[in-house]
Amino acid sequence: TKANMSTIPPPKILTEQPNIPDKQLFGPGPSNMPDEIRSSMNAPLLGHLHGEFTKIMDDVREGIKYLFQTNNRLTFAISGTGHAGMEVAVMNLLEPGESFLVVKNGIWGLRAANLGKRLSLDVHVLEVPEGQVATLDQFTAAVKEHKPKVVFICQGESSTGVAHPLEGYADVAHANGALLLVDTVASIGGAPFEQDKLGVDVVYTATQKVLNAPPGLAPISFSAKAEEKIRSRKTPVVSFYFDALELGNYWGCFDEPRRYHHTGMVSMVYSLRAALAAIAKEGVEKEIARHQENAIFFYKELQNAGFEPFVANKSIRLPCLTTVKVPEGVDWKIVADKLMAQKIEIAGGLGPTLGKIWRIGTFGVNSNQDKIKKVVAALKEATEQAKAKI
Ligand code: PMP
């Protein structure tokens, strides 16, 4: 071979345009992206330590504090999706052998327990049936029994459409020497959440649901007590990339010069700034109220169309993600495929709910009554066709 000829030829497929249809994303995420968020990513790249960019990082930190309703200084966005939020939280808060209690009412508790085992933690699971939540009494008993250093609750369990209550849970954890860690990936901005008022020690979320930004960043915030726990570790955090104190330095959380830690996701951070600006403009409490009102509208539309909700108890339904029972004799996949052919995405169940439910996300701009009406009409038509085996 000549020096200028490579053995592997360039893939011809790359000369073609990719197929990227404009779909209505009513699955459990990602959601649709409004123009102002999409166009924010067309801005020129900056260096990851340029003053103009670190100013944007500062703006984003203010936006995340507003979104979580916290004054915590250790607040930033991880370069990674929601899972990265879970990994940073668990990996930094706990050391091998420490007790970690997980409330499991769906796949996210299961995932947290799995992660805890990989990190050699002493993992305990408070198992709650799918579609339900742990009562404060059940929670208290489990905390007293297992004496955890950290307890995990998923606020928006996206596999079942349940919003876990949080009032009073941190008090129980604190009274027993534990920190409370909450996953709000599928709930932030769509269900009530105030970190400081609730006493939540660590919260993380992701950008691709209510925030309507692309997947790729995980906002996270640690309370002073959580930061203290990390600073008092006897063993180093196994990951350098996910070291919360290194990340905190890069994000300017401490009164010290920023060091290079990794190359920040420059364009993604622009998009997160745009997403947080949109929430600040609407007002986070208005945004939550809109999701709650439109969820009630959604339940009525579903009922009128002959569908039944999966979560019987109205007070624990997740306003931004609705789960619907698949009627007897109907194949959920045929219906979802019929909708997808119309460029409307809905999802089926996950894990134990597979085949039993559909999951329909109405995140951010998709929490809109006209859009909800169209989705329900399409769902009804496709279900009738599936019943008639068309
Ligand atoms: N937690 C919850 C509640 C989620 O719904 C998801 C994503 N579906 C995740 C964590 C993981 O997020 P990601 O897929 O962005 O890693």
Q: Is residue 171 assigned to a domain?
A: yes
Ligand 1 mean position, distance from CA 183 (Å): 9
Three-class HEC string of 138-191: HHHHHHHHHCCCEEEEECEECCCCEECCCCCHHHHHHHCCCEEEEECCCCECCE
- Last-in-domain residue among 281, 316, 347: 281
Q: Whose CA is nearest to atom 2 of ligand 1?
A: 185
Ligand 1 mean position, distance from CA 269 (Å): 19
- Map residue 122 onto helix, strand or coil: strand
Q: Whose CA is nearest to atom 11 of ligand 1?
A: 82
Q: How many domains does the chain have?
A: 2
Ligand 1 mean position, distance from CA 109 (Å): 11
138 and 212 housed in the same domain:
yes
Which tokens sit at 91? 């990996």
81 Cα nearest atom in ligand 1: 15
ipTM: 0.99
Cβ atoms 191, 163 nearer than 8 A: yes
Q: Is residue 99 assigned to a domain?
A: yes
Cβ atoms 205, 21 nearer than 8 A: no
Q: Is residue 13 assigned to a domain?
A: no
Ligand 1 mean position, distance from CA 113 (Å): 15
192 and 60 housed in the same domain:
yes
161 and 59 housed in the same domain:
yes
Cβ atoms 343, 267 nearer than 8 A: no
120 and 231 housed in the same domain:
yes
Ligand 1 mean position, distance from CA 185 (Å): 6
235 and 115 housed in the same domain:
yes
CA 49/CA 216 separation, integer angstroms: 19
Ligand 1 mean position, distance from CA 130 (Å): 17
- Last-in-domain residue among 281, 312, 340: 281
CA 239/CA 152 separation, integer angstroms: 21
Q: Is residue 18 assigned to a domain?
A: no
Residues with Cβ within 8 Å of residue 193, at least 6 apart in sequence: 68, 69, 155, 166, 182, 184, 187, 203
Q: Is residue 372 assigned to a domain?
A: yes
Q: Whose CA is nearest to atom 9 of ligand 1?
A: 82
The residue behind tokens 């808060």 is 93
CATH code of 239's domain: 3.40.640.10
Q: What is the separation, in whole angstroms, between the first and last Cα of the chain?
A: 57
Q: Is residue 241 assigned to a domain?
A: yes
Q: How far is CA 166 from the centre of its chain?
A: 16
Which tokens sit at 152? 């995990």
Which tokens sit at 129? 């049936």
239 and 341 housed in the same domain:
no
- Using a 6 Å CB cutoff, which residues line ligand 1? 28-29, 81-83, 108, 154, 156, 158, 183, 185-186, 206, 215
52 and 178 housed in the same domain:
yes
DSSP H helical segments within the chain, as ranges? 35-40, 51-68, 82-93, 107-118, 136-146, 169-175, 195-198, 224-231, 244-250, 266-282, 284-304, 332-341, 369-387
156 Cα nearest atom in ligand 1: 3
CATH code of 305's domain: 3.90.1150.10
206 Cα nearest atom in ligand 1: 15
186 and 204 housed in the same domain:
yes
57 and 144 housed in the same domain:
yes
Q: Is residue 63 assigned to a domain?
A: yes
**Per-residue pLDDT tens digits of the chain, which is 390 residues long:** 566 778 999 999 999 999 999 999 999 999 999 999 999 999 999 999 999 999 999 999 999 999 999 999 999 999 999 999 999 999 999 999 999 999 999 999 999 999 999 999 999 999 999 999 999 999 999 999 999 999 999 999 999 999 999 999 999 999 999 999 999 999 999 999 999 999 999 999 999 999 999 999 999 999 999 999 999 999 999 999 999 999 999 999 999 999 999 999 999 999 999 999 999 999 999 999 999 999 999 999 999 999 999 999 999 999 999 999 999 999 999 999 999 999 999 999 988 889 999 999 999 999 999 999 999 999 999 999 999 876
- Last-in-domain residue among 247, 281, 315: 281
| Residue whose CB lies within 8 A of the most ligand 1 atoms, among 102, 108, 160, 209, for a mutation test | 108
121 and 208 housed in the same domain:
yes
Cβ atoms 156, 186 nearer than 8 A: yes
Q: Whose CA is nearest to atom 12 of ligand 1?
A: 82
Q: Running DSSP on this structure, what letter comes out for residue 358? A: E
Range of the domain at 80: 35-281
214 and 316 housed in the same domain:
no
28 Cα nearest atom in ligand 1: 8
Ligand 1 mean position, distance from CA 254 (Å): 28
159 Cα nearest atom in ligand 1: 5
Q: Give me the pLDDT at residue 6, please.
A: 86
132 and 174 housed in the same domain:
yes
Cβ atoms 269, 53 nearer than 8 A: yes
Q: Is residue 382 assigned to a domain?
A: yes
Ligand 1 mean position, distance from CA 334 (Å): 25
Compute the C-alpha angle 276/282/287, nearest 5°.
Answer: 90
Q: Is 233 annotated as a binding residue?
A: no
Backbone angles phi, psi at 101, to 5 degrees: -105, 130
| Residue whose CB lies within 8 A of the most ligand 1 atoms, among 87, 130, 185, for a mutation test | 185
Which tokens sit at 210? 């209510």
